[in-house]
Amino acid sequence: MAIPVRPRLLAALAPTFLGCLLLLVAAVAVVPPRATDLTWVSTDFKTILEWQPKPTNYTYTVRINDRSRNWKYKCISTTDTECDLTDEIVKDVKWTYEAKVLSVPRRNSTHGNQDLLVVQGVEPPFANAPKFLPYQDTTLGQPVIQEFEQDGTKLKVTVKDSLTLVRKNGTFLTLRQVFGKDLSYILTYRKGSSTGRKTNTTHTNEFLIDVEKRTSYCFFVQAVISSRKNNQKSPESITVCTEQWKSIVGETFIIVGAVVFLVTIFIILLSISLCKRRKRRAEQKKKSTPSRLA
């Protein structure tokens, strides 16, 4: 037997039902799109999370977890499509980080660092970034050849360790201090007049290789993390040549010598000019002085 529904009850519930329906439609209407193409860009532990697209009537907020599995809010209510997360990932470079980008309607963007970033009780759309392990995933920056010297049949090359943004006791650490024995350098060298290459590897910052006497050599270095499966090698350093160094030194001496010569000539000419001027004044003074009768 059907239960009769009173018209008055329907009439009373209609506004409430209509209001809920309108709220639901409004909530769906303001739901922004999810972020896409989430990518970690990291070099020597300087780490930025990037994504797309550029927002229009909404903003982004990033969340990243720490070792305690706590989620932290970063770049809150930003209209950018990137977020610098370096200060979080350098706290422990051997921890695997997870991050997500939330798309938040502008009207809720003033709620700040709270779990109130919701639309009508529903968490805003979000996209998960790939997991990121800084120790394995950060790329190596271009190394720098600090100095080199060719003495007879020995070529000594010293590589400068790059500074990272990883800190210990308030001091920034070098690549060597972060990676330890995992870090090595490869020196690729050739005779200045040849295309044949040779390589040499060191687990320190110095190379000492045998070369031919009175022969110019060109070379570059690369940093290597051999324990990695990906991103093992850094870009090549700038290529330098021993003969090029001699040429630079020689040109420097020539320039300095020319400057000294010109300065010396200028001083000599100035001295001669001053002497002539003094002599001319002395003669004029002598002529203007009246002679005395004996």
Average pLDDT over residues 247-269: 67
Asked if residue 26 has pLDDT above 60, the reply is no
Asked if residue 63 has pLDDT above 60, the reply is yes
pLDDT of residue 12: 59
Asked if residue 110 has pLDDT above 50, the reply is no
Q: What is the pTM of this model?
A: 0.69
Domains of the chain: 32-137 (2.60.40.10), 144-246 (2.60.40.10)
Start-to-end Cα distance in the chain: 163
pLDDT of residue 4: 55
Lowest mean pLDDT among 122-131, 261-270, 280-289: 280-289
Q: Could you tell me which of 242, 263, 260, 240 has the C-alpha nearest to residue 252?
A: 260
Tokens of 178: 């972060």
pLDDT of residue 291: 52
Q: What are phi and psi of 12, to 5 degrees?
A: -70, -35
Radius of gyration of the chain (CA): 37
Average pLDDT over residues 39-49: 98
**Which of the four pLDDT bands, split at 50, 70 and 90, describes residue 294?**
very low
Q: What b/e readout covers 251-272, taking b as 16+ CB neighbours within 10 angstroms?
A: eeeeeeeeeeeeeeeeeeeeee
Q: Could you tell me which of 219, 148, 226 has the C-alpha nearest to residue 190?
A: 219
Tokens of 46: 């300087």
Tens digits of residue pLDDT in 209-257? 999 998 999 999 999 999 999 999 999 999 999 985 444 444 455 566 7
Asked if residue 34 has pLDDT above 50, the reply is yes
Burial class (CB in 10 A: 0-12, 13-18, 19+), 182: middle
H runs (alpha helix) in 84-174: 86-89, 134-137
Asked if residue 1 has pLDDT above 90, the reply is no
**Which of the four pLDDT bands, split at 50, 70 and 90, describes residue 114?**
very low
More confident residue, 43 or 5: 43
pLDDT of residue 122: 65
Average pLDDT over residues 88-117: 77
Other Cβ atoms closer than 10 A to 4: 6
pLDDT of residue 116: 42
The answer to whether the beta carbons of residues 48 and 83 sit under 8 Å apart is: yes
Please state, in angstroms and as integers, the Cα–Cα distance from residue 239 to each residue in 152, 179, 192, 247, following that order: 21, 25, 11, 15
Dihedral in degrees, nearest 10, Cα atoms 185, 190, 191, 192: -90
E strands along the chain, which residues? 36-43, 46-52, 58-65, 71-78, 82-84, 99-105, 126-128, 144-151, 154-160, 163-168, 171-174, 183-191, 198-202, 206-210, 217-225, 240-241
Peptide bond into 53 cis (omega under 30): yes
Tokens of 106: 């502008």
Q: What are phi and psi of 222, to 5 degrees?
A: -135, 140
Q: What b/e readout covers 30-44, taking b as 16+ CB neighbours within 10 angstroms?
A: bebebbeebebebbb
H runs (alpha helix) in 230-241: none
71 Cβ contact list (under 8 Å, min separation 6): 63, 64, 65
Please list the residues that pair with 217 across neighbouring strands: 191
Rounded-to-integer distance, Cα 108 and Cα 76, Å? 11
**Which of the four pLDDT bands, split at 50, 70 and 90, describes residue 115?**
very low
Asked if residue 283 has pLDDT above 90, the reply is no
More confident residue, 195 or 244: 195
